[in-house]
Homo-oligomer: A and B are copies of this chain.
Amino acid sequence: MNRVGIKEVAKMAGVSTATVSHVINNTRFVSEETKAKVLHAMKTLDYRPNLAAQSLRNQRSNTIGLIVPTLPADTSNFFFMMVAQGIQQTLKKNGYFLLHSTNSTEGIEEEIEQIKLFNSKLIDGLIIASVSDDVSYLKDLVGDKYPVVFIDRKPKGIKGDCILADGFGGAYQATRTLIEKGHRKIGLITGSLGISTSRERFEGYSKALRDHDITYSDDRVVIASTPSFDSGYESAKKLMSSQDVTALFIANNVLTMGAMKYLQENQVKIPDEVAVIGFDDYDWTRITAPPLTVIQQPSYEIGVKAAEIMLKKISKKNAKNKEYRLPTKLIMRQSC
């Protein structure tokens, strides 16, 4: 059951290891005849190249690192899970592996440590949704050792490709929809404005108000301390207690869930007493009472795109850094 190496193949085929290598990689001409012998030997010995050796020799590993923030045992962070799945499956199609690390603390230290670990593993690229808005620390850490692709959050302090959903547009559309239904007092529940994602959604919301001559009011905006179920619950409670909103836009899927819990628990009639638009389209939004109108983010597609851009950067070395914005979509159901 010993691993068979290139040496055994060479021996069986009666050629040098160089020739075997060239056959495998198609890297110089080999006569049909010897090629056939080599291929035959490879097949009968069930030869598989040792990727560790290849990595060492080639200084690359066919592996991409992924870092996303996720609370431990958080049942809710569907978004990054979907993104990761998109990445994983397109990398796989292209013969790449994905080394996936979640960042369970909210701190940047863990992130840095993780990148250092990845570095010693010789990753060929890094896809990251940083906990921090300012990612200039990546300059020293990564330099130009390998390409970096940012997802979900727009990086500051460094150039780089960036794949994100059109949060501004989505939030704008949600808010406008509520306005067109006749609402003027529209509440917003959102995550920390410290990350670009939340900021954009906030701006989409306030721009829609402005465009429709509705005065913005701080009192109708709740910034959830953490994007958790409980925090969503508390935020909805706070907003509903003031009695001053007739509609609610919740700019994050976990917060949406928590807010729905509050509304349901208190028998608030949706959409009669309060209209609701949530964020992210997951199956559970179809079974609430009533089914939720939401802004859908193309999470899986963001993953696919991120992987594609990464592969392109690795092979083409094109230095252009583009921002890719995937459109969001309003899924109309019965909550507004």
Contacts and interface: CB of A to CB of B under 8 A. Distances in A.
Interface of A: 1, 48-53, 55-56, 61, 70, 72-73, 75-76, 78, 81-82, 85-86, 88-89, 92, 97-102, 104, 116, 119-122, 143-145, 229, 254, 257, 260-261, 264, 282-284, 286-289, 291, 300
9 nearest CB pairs, A to B? A284-B284, A289-B289, A52-B55, A48-B120, A52-B56, A260-B287, A1-B143, A73-B300, A51-B121
A53 B61 CA distance: 11
A317 B98 CA distance: 28
Q: Which of A48, A70, A287 neighbours the largest number of chain B CB atoms within 10 Å of its CB?
A: A287
A53 B56 contact: yes
B56 A283 contact: no
Contact of A1 (B72, B145, B300): B145
B88 A92 contact: no
A116 B48 contact: yes
Contacts of A264: 287, 289, 291
A97 B53 CA distance: 18
A58 to B, nearest CB: 9
Contacts of A73: 82, 85-86, 300
28 contacts: A1-B144, A1-B145, A48-B116, A49-B120, A50-B56, A52-B55, A53-B56, A56-B56, A70-B85, A72-B85, A72-B89, A73-B82, A73-B86, A76-B283, A81-B81, A85-B102, A88-B101, A88-B102, A89-B102, A92-B101, A97-B121, A100-B100, A257-B283, A264-B287, A282-B284, A284-B284, A288-B288, A288-B289
A54 to B, nearest CB: 9
A104 B121 contact: no
Contacts of A97: 99, 121
Contacts of A85: 70, 72-73, 102
Given A1-B145, A52-B56, A286-B261, A82 B88 contact: no
Q: Which of A61, A121, A291 neighbours the largest number of chain B CB atoms within 10 Å of its CB?
A: A121
A85 B74 CA distance: 9
Given A52-B61, A287-B288, 4 more contacts: A52-B56, A73-B82, A261-B287, A264-B289
A264 B292 CA distance: 13
Contacts of A145: 1
B98 A100 contact: yes
A115 to B, nearest CB: 11
